[in-house]
Amino acid sequence: MKVVTLRSPGGLDQLQVVERDAPGEPGPGEIRVRVKASSLNFHDYGVVSGMIPADDGRIPMSDGAGVVEVVGDGVEEFSVGDAVVSTFFPHWLDGSARVADFKTTPGDGIDGYAREQVTRPATWFTHAPRGYSHEEAATLTTAGLTAWRALVVDGNLKAGDTVLTLGTGGVSIFALQFAKAMGARVISTSSSDEKIEKLKELGADHTINYKSEPEWGKKVKALTDGRGVDHVIEVGGPGTLPQSIDAVCIGGHIALIGILTGRGGEVPTIKLMAKQARLQGLIVGSRTQQQEMVRGIEAIGVRPIIDSTFALGEIADAFRHEEAGRHFGKICLSL
């Protein structure tokens, strides 16, 4: 089978496609999956570019979707032919968060899904939404579940709430789609007027170009009659958090998700305190939350926005496309 490995110390020119023996038959509780698709996240880019150190020979990619080929003894949840999608934290099945690192995350601390086949415990996967392509399913492991958890699990989103999304990456576009499908109003930002037109097509009620409107927090308040938004999907980090604090309503919720502008910086703590807002960090979610999201998707009918799809052997080009920042939504790999 074909596998992509990353030579240490990383870098897109250190990705190589190699031939490996197919994985063995599944043992008790395991399944063998023919991986058909993966999708790119900023975290995967961190690994393959060498920003996040990985072991020599690491198989990248946290997201994997495909078809169950063989079922081991005692597996009742899946049958041969089922469409499945991998989980980000294979050992966090249920309950509140209990992992704060990436040591067990496929594509980072352990081998990921840039490979044609894999044999793993059945609990490392969930069913994919009915009717999804494998590429669509692969977008759920990281980006989809992060947006779902931010809004639905941590945010208790309800119809009539107002949500602010930042930029047009995978997490933010999912958040826009989930929020609209669940009856919320959405304000979305982007650096590109062309992408802003696409945000409108997806149903964004208001849009802001954060480059031409650097004080976008004030603009968000004006668009909400001075109240501010109930939820912020904060993917920017230190460079955007002060504006997000301006934009959030009193008692609102900022889901602290990303670090697109850097790893640390000043926080206007007095404003956050006065707003009595909740700043909630999160990393993806549990297997149970993924199962709930799959049920939710089947009910509300959201389909992921896929910007482009690359073959496994074009993985470096796929990451160059992400690096260039021209994408809108998800970039996928097809195997």
Residue ranges in contact with ligand NAP by CB under 6 A: 41-43, 142-143, 146, 166-171, 189-192, 195, 210, 235-236, 239-240, 257-261, 282-284, 322, 325
Which token pair is 275? 């707003």
Q: Residue for token digits 């826009």?
A: 176
How many CB atoms are closer than 10 A to CB 275?
20
Of 177, 178, 133, the C-alpha closest to 39 is 133
How many CB atoms are closer than 10 A to CB 291?
15
Instruction: Pick between residue 204 and residue 294 the one whose CB is nearest to ligand NAP.
Output: 204
User: Closest distance between ligand NAP and the C-beta of residue 20, in Å?
Assistant: 28
- Residues contacting 126, CB < 8 A, separation 6+: 84, 85, 87, 287, 290, 291, 294
Instruction: Pick between residue 28 and residue 262 the one whose CB is nearest to ligand NAP.
Output: 262
Instruction: Pick between residue 3 and residue 332 the one whose CB is nearest to ligand NAP.
Output: 332
User: Closest distance between ligand NAP and the C-beta of residue 216, in Å?
Assistant: 9
User: Closest distance between ligand NAP and the C-beta of residue 123, in Å?
Assistant: 20
Residue nearest to ligand NAP (CB): 169
Residues forming beta bridges with residue 32, ordered by sequence position = 70, 119
DSSP 67-117: EEEEE-TT--S--TT-EEEE-SSTT--SSS----SSTTSBTTTB--S-BSE
User: Closest distance between ligand NAP and the C-beta of residue 41, in Å?
Assistant: 4
Q: Are 231 and 334 in contact (CB under 8 A)?
A: no
For the chain, how many residues are written? Answer: 335
Instruction: Pick between residue 3 and residue 145 the one whose CB is nearest to ligand NAP.
Output: 145
Query: Which amino acid would we find at residue 35?
Result: V
188 CB burial (10 A radius; 0-12, 13-18, 19+):
buried
Of 216, 245, 219, the C-alpha closest to 232 is 245
Instruction: Pick between residue 68 and residue 143 the one whose CB is nearest to ligand NAP.
Output: 143
User: Closest distance between ligand NAP and the C-beta of residue 117, in Å?
Assistant: 26
Instruction: Pick between residue 74 and residue 325 the one whose CB is nearest to ligand NAP.
Output: 325
Instruction: Pick between residue 62 and residue 224 the one whose CB is nearest to ligand NAP.
Output: 62
Q: Are 290 and 87 in contact (CB under 8 A)?
A: yes
- Residues contacting 76, CB < 8 A, separation 6+: none
User: Closest distance between ligand NAP and the C-beta of residue 80, in Å?
Assistant: 32
User: Closest distance between ligand NAP and the C-beta of residue 233, in Å?
Assistant: 9
